[in-house]
Amino acid sequence: MGLQLAEKAGNNNIEVRLVRNDEERRQVYRTRYAVYADEMGWKTRYADDQRGTLTDPLDQTGKIFAAFCGNEVVGTLRTNYGDPARLGEYVDLYEMGCHLRANPRGAGIGTMFMVRRSFRSSLVPSQLLVVALREAVANGVETVFIDCERRMVPFYRRLGLHVHIESICHPEYGEGVCMAGALKDIRLLWNRCAPQRPVAA
């Protein structure tokens, strides 16, 4: 059976899938800016204040997933894996060296994960993770790394991730926690993300 990358999230007519073209990518970049810059007030060297977009070099080698409500992007997540060169500064930031030495193509990262405020208590955050990690499993990724604000640690623990580094300093977004998870346990995450069991973000 082929990998199904598109899924419906709950009863809100949300479609979660890989972006398909440049226009969808631009929508994702605008959504990132709206959440990170406008809502959260974070400053980053990669933000384009004139265009209201946020993109960085890892977009060129990553897989970008989006949650669509109609034609509007309401959430997004990016993954990078397949070659350590695609992980950029995160190899050192997340202390991924031992995993990459054991299997250079078996570790990946999830970044630029954000959901518009009105959808954060829906299934959208969990479904974005499910779709992206299923695709990573299909491509041989064994371990995934992410960083998050400390308040989000319980959310990721419920999905099967554990704290990898208690405190990191992201060059763009400041202090946070690095978490990691073995994708052999991904079925636990899928079960937790069943439509009848929403997870608040």
pLDDT over 60 (residue 191): no
Counting beta carbons within 10 angstroms of the beta carbon of residue 198, is it exposed (0 to 12), middle (13 to 18) or buried (19 or more)? middle
Say if 130 falls within a structural domain.
yes
Q: Which pLDDT belongs to residue 200?
A: 32
Q: Which domain covers residue 66, as residue numbers?
A: 7-192
Say if 124 falls within a structural domain.
yes
Query: Residue 176's domain is classified under what CATH number?
Result: 3.40.630.30
Q: Which pLDDT belongs to residue 12?
A: 55
Question: What is the percent of the chain with per-residue pLDDT over 70, rounded to a whole number?
Answer: 86
Q: How many CB atoms lie within 10 A of CB 154?
A: 9
Q: What is the dihedral of CA 25, 26, 31, 32, to 10 degrees?
A: 80
Say if 200 falls within a structural domain.
no
In whole angstroms, give the CA distance from residue 139 to residue 87. 16
In whole angstroms, give the CA distance from residue 20 to residue 96. 30
Interval 118-148: pLDDT, tens: 998 888 998 898 899 889 988 999 999 999 9
Q: Which pLDDT belongs to residue 163?
A: 96
In whole angstroms, give the CA distance from residue 103 to residue 143. 10
Say if 19 falls within a structural domain.
yes
Say if 201 falls within a structural domain.
no
pLDDT over 80 (residue 186): no
Amino acid letter for position 37: A
What does pTM read for this prediction? 0.85
Residue matched to tokens 């829906």: 122
Number of domains composing the chain = 1
Say if 2 falls within a structural domain.
no
Nearest residue to 36 via CA among 12, 8, 50, 55: 55
Say if 57 falls within a structural domain.
yes
Average pLDDT over residues 38-43: 85
Nearest residue to 46 via CA among 37, 55, 38: 55
